[in-house]
Amino acid sequence: MDIVYIRDLRVEAIIGIFDWEREVRQVISLDLEMATDIRPAAKSDDIKDALDYKAVAKRLIAFIEDSNCLLVERLAEDVTRIVINEFQVAWVKLRLSKPGALRGSQDVGLIIERGQKPDVNGA
């Protein structure tokens, strides 16, 4: 499988467990790696045969802006489910972070992988 990626997609969202976090939009940063076979798109040179990263980004931006999760864990699960189910990728690796959420750190967050990742032999 090949990987199409999106790095540092920034979206403002209501997320967090503290009262002030329920009233103020915070920046969420996403890095996605999505497994797909790029050969059909390379052969046809047609976007309909490609994993359209712009469509993925637009869908995730709309979802995250409208979400109201308490935990980044919930948001991460929802994001990976959307990518796998709506864009038919074999697996997705997501790094989701909240820049500035912890004093003294650049950001905090999590990294998850979902779906079925093929082994190195392509099985």
Structural domains for the chain: 2-104 (3.30.1130.10)
- Which positions ≥6 away from 110 have C-beta within 8 Å? 72, 73, 76, 95, 96, 97
Rounded distance between C-alpha atoms, residue 69 and residue 105, angstroms? 22
- Which tokens is 25 given? 């939009």
Cα distances (Å, whole numbers) of residue 78 to 29, 32, 37, 94: 15, 13, 23, 11
More confident residue, 105 or 98: 98
pLDDT in tens, 3-26: 999 999 999 999 999 999 999 999
Given 48, 54, 58, 98, which residue is catalytic?
98
Q: Say if residue 122's pLDDT is above 80.
A: no
Place of tokens 């990987």: 3
Place of tokens 């392509």: 122
Rounded distance between C-alpha atoms, residue 48 and residue 92, angstroms? 20
Q: What is the pTM of this model?
A: 0.89
Q: Say if residue 91's pLDDT is above 80.
A: yes
Closest CA to 75 of 20, 19, 29, 23: 29
End-to-end CA gap in the chain: 10
pLDDT in tens, 17-65: 999 999 999 999 999 999 999 999 999 999 999 999 999 999 999 999 9
Query: pLDDT tier at 119 (50, 70, 90 boundaries)?
Result: low
Specify whether 48 is catalytic: no
